[in-house]
Structure 1
Amino acid sequence: MKKKTFFVYGTIVASIFLYFFFKPSLVTNEKEILAQAKRGKFKVEITTSGELQALNSTLVLGPIEARRFRVGNFTIEEMVDEGTNVKKGEFIASLDKTELFGRLEDKRLELEQAIALFEQTQLDTSLVLRQERDNIINLEYEIEERKLILNQSEYEPPAIIKQNENNVEKAKRDLKQAIDRYRIKTMQERARMVEVSAKLRDVQTEVKQINEVLEKFTVTAPQNGMVIYASGMGGKIKKGSQISAWNPVVATLPDLTIMQSITYINEVDISKVKVGQRVELGLDAFPEKKLYGKVKNVANVGQQRPNSDAKVFEVTILINESDPMLRPGMTTSNTIIVEELNDVIYVPLEALNTQADSLNYVYLKSGKKQEVKVGIANGNDVVVELGLKEGDAVYLSTPDWSTKVEINLLEGLNRKRNSSF
């Protein structure tokens, strides 16, 4: 029991000793945190994440022509896995043909009816024109007969001769009318044949076109490439998805030799981003991999991203390198170099103090309260153009003597501050 009591008291005494031993140094460190003014390269950067996409892609389309036959949507029955490398002409997907098969059966029935009508019209035309030709031949014989009768009536009374002459003229008129009628009938029957022939050709063409469209329900690769699923209203298009005949994109075959990263910059920083700025990129999938690129395009109109209240602007970054490891959809970390200075003095932002919105100053280790002229800043540091030299030690917090000294003003800024100074 005595040993236990001695151990407890000993622990308490040791804890009190350690507390008082370390407490002064902790307070001192907290009150007197210093940093040195450094000289060197200074960068203003914007860091954001993005997603890799191919700059150029070939669309893999279903049968656009199907909409001519009132087929509005297709269902994907089979499809290769995303990321599959295919060669030109190889299988990518097959679409449900049921609806178009129904259209084909209707057209086949219509084709049979058109063929029957064509054949019937041919027979009718042949029969009608044959009758007209026979009538013309008969009228020609009749004229010859009436001429013989006229010749034989040379010694008949004048009235009989006159009547026979009239009969010859009448037969000639009948023949002329028959010839005219045959010509008109020929034109009429030809027009009928043209009409039914055109109808037959139209139906034959439609049947042929439907068969050609049905072949396109088996979707093949238009070129070599890697299959990337297209995005639709319900997410990525895959087996079981429906696509519209008005936008029948099944997949894409990206050109992996030229890649870009699509990222979004918030409205606070977008004014700093300009086309042509240098970008350093990293890959989440390959942390050791470093890439370089430049800003290719900055959107003029902001948009609302899901699960975010702030407006963002789409920025496209073109990647300089070509690497077989790059794949569409990979996540990138993008560091946009907004501005870069090679030989400047800079200090941590925590060292900078401001008075009346026009006077900037720092606390020096030497006990001075020094005015400074500042330049650009990034998320951690700020450039000091006047007032400090390399190696000067500055406080990152307010020292105890801060109220006892006046600010040492820079003569070069006398007319550039608030009038109260």
Structure 2
Amino acid sequence: MDKIILFFRTTKKRYLLGIFIVIFVFTVYWVSGSGVPDIASTEVKYGEFITDIRTTGELQAHKNTVITVPREFRRSLQIIKLVEEGSIVKKGDFLVQFDTGEFEKQLEQKKNEMKNAEAEYQSLLANQESNMAQLKASLETQRYSHRQAEINLAQMKYEAQMKREQKEIEMKKADIALKQAEEKIKAQKIIDEADRKKAELKIKHAKLEVEKIEKLIKSCTITAPTPGLVVYEKIWGPTGRQKVKVGDTPWRGQGIISIPDLSIMQVKTKVNEVDISKVEKGQDVIIRLDSHPDAVYYGNVTEIANLARSEGRNDSKVKVFDVIVTIKESDKKLKPGMSATCQIITERIKNVLYIPLQSVFEKDGKTVVYVMNPGPEKRVVELGPKNSNYVVIKKGLKKGERVTLRDPTLRLEEIGKSPKQKIKKQPVNNNNFPDGIIIFND
């Protein structure tokens, strides 16, 4: 009997010890990773809620002067000197020098042609002057003969009829000879004038050719038409599109250098065809540079493409619309080609409650959150509009309440099956942004 009593007493002690161990283990687990103190939470926000569209793009200047190969070039010329990319230039500063060797040869040839034309013209004038002098001398001789014939005819007034008629014939011959001499001079003057004009045109054409070549040579040296930053353009080469360099022979009319005006910068971005109906000109935009994530800039949508284009390859089924965002601020950090993220503000809703998206869960077909009271308490809510980080709560929550940032039931349900769940980095409001615009701290 004593043995039986001892057995029951020992069994009771073991049972109590087991209960104590279970309570101890549960308490340690509750405090260390599954209890209320370890559940991150956030306060329900109240104020203006903003819906947005997040896009990526590239900076470009509002005004951009593109330097092209002169179209006067009949063939491609080699670049022999080039200003360094990234240089800040003033109006009139050197940019590009093309090879002028071929033009120099043409210029020498055209100058020789001009000199020959001028020499021929001078020779023509001398010949015309000599010929005209002979014609004028002949005219004077004919005038003298004509006057002599008049005198002879007058002396025949009282002579026999036959002699008078002979003198009259001589007089008529003198008249004809004088008129012919006069007409010959007139005709020769017309011929000489035409020959001079022809020679003058030849000289003029030669001079124009010389001036044309000189202009081409001058255009081989390109200077900055406006102040700004030098940015090399990409041209097609043996290995594909690459930035222009010394030794290249770009086509005429091809862009080789851009000089953007950095005083007004823009972001060229794209919006999916699904969201483009939400985008309008004038909408506020918040811009952040990938290279300077702490810097925040503000702008507006200023241009929206009328037609969609394929994203990436031409046969891509994804369609996007190009959108231009003009930045309000001017900053030396803003350079063409830099990557940027745009937050296009599509709607502002005043005086609403909103919480992080990560605080909302689906349970048994219902949308729920876990309210700290003081531990997590499940509550059904009705959702409103949402953005990339937050969602509006129409019903189910009050201002000032706190909701969990993760599902508090996952730890208990998944214990022994998965490692401890990591809580997503908590987004916080930045003073530079209105409520609802979220900036993640680094």
TM-score by length of 1: 0.75
| 5+ residue gaps, structure 2 | 1-23, 372-376, 411-442
8 Å contact kept, 2:379–2:396 = no
Q: Measured at CA, do residues 18 and 211 of structure 1 come closer, stay the same or move farther in structure 2, by a change above 3 Å?
A: farther
8 Å contact kept, 2:52–2:345 = yes
Cα distance in 2, alignment partners of residues 91 and 368 from structure 1: 72
Report the CA distance between 1:197 and its aligned residue: 0.3
Give the number of aligned pairs: 372
Report the CA distance between 1:52 and its aligned residue: 1.6
8 Å contact kept, 2:235–2:256 = no
8 Å contact kept, 1:61–1:219 = no
Cα distance in 2, alignment partners of residues 313 and 242 from structure 1: 35
For residues 342-383 of structure 1, give each alpha carbon's deviation from its aligned partner in whole angstroms, at most 9, with x where no partner exists: 32123555736699xxxx9534669988573x4322234432
Cα distance in 1, alignment partners of residues 202 and 249 from structure 2: 35
Report the CA distance between 1:92 and its aligned residue: 1.5
Q: Which residue number in structure 2 is paired with residue 243 of structure 1?
A: 250
For residues 360-416 of structure 1, give each alpha carbon's deviation from its aligned partner in whole angstroms, at most 9, with x where no partner exists: 9534669988573x432223443233455443869987999xxxxxxxxxxxxxxxx
1:206 pairs with one of 199, 204, 209:
209
| 5+ residue gaps, structure 1 | 1-16, 401-421
Q: Measured at CA, do residues 263 and 240 of structure 1 come closer, stay the same or move farther in structure 2, by a change above 3 Å?
A: farther
Superposed counterparts of 1:161-180, under 5 Å: 161-180=164-183
Q: Which residue number in structure 1 is paired with residue 341 of structure 2?
A: 333
The percent of aligned pairs where both chains have the same amino acid is 31
For residues 116-168 of structure 1, give each alpha carbon's deviation from its aligned partner in whole angstroms, at most 9, with x where no partner exists: 43234323322332332222111101112222332343443211111202211
8 Å contact kept, 1:111–1:203 = yes
Superposed counterparts of 1:153-192, under 5 Å: 153-192=156-195
SS at match of 1:264: strand
8 Å contact kept, 1:279–1:292 = yes
Q: Which residue number in structure 1 is paired with residue 3 of structure 2?
A: none
Q: Which residue number in structure 1 is paired with residue 51 of structure 2?
A: 44
Q: Which residue number in structure 1 is paired with residue 367 of structure 2?
A: 362
Root-mean-square deviation (CA), in Å?
Answer: 3.7
8 Å contact kept, 1:61–1:249 = yes
Cα distance in 1, alignment partners of residues 45 and 124 from structure 2: 101
1:284 equivalent in alignment to 2:290? yes
Superposed counterparts of 1:55-66, under 5 Å: 55-64=62-71, 66=72
Letter in 1 for 2:246: K
Cα distance in 1, alignment partners of residues 113 and 391 from structure 2: 82
Cα distance in 1, alignment partners of residues 363 and 120 from structure 2: 97
2:391 pairs with one of 372, 382, 388:
382
SS at match of 1:285: coil
8 Å contact kept, 2:370–2:407 = no
8 Å contact kept, 1:265–1:313 = yes
SS at match of 1:74: coil
For residues 209-239 of structure 1, give each alpha carbon's deviation from its aligned partner in whole angstroms, at most 9, with x where no partner exists: 3113312212222233322223434333332
1:304 equivalent in alignment to 2:310? yes
SS at match of 2:78: strand
8 Å contact kept, 1:376–1:382 = yes
Cα distance in 2, alignment partners of residues 363 and 254 from structure 1: 53
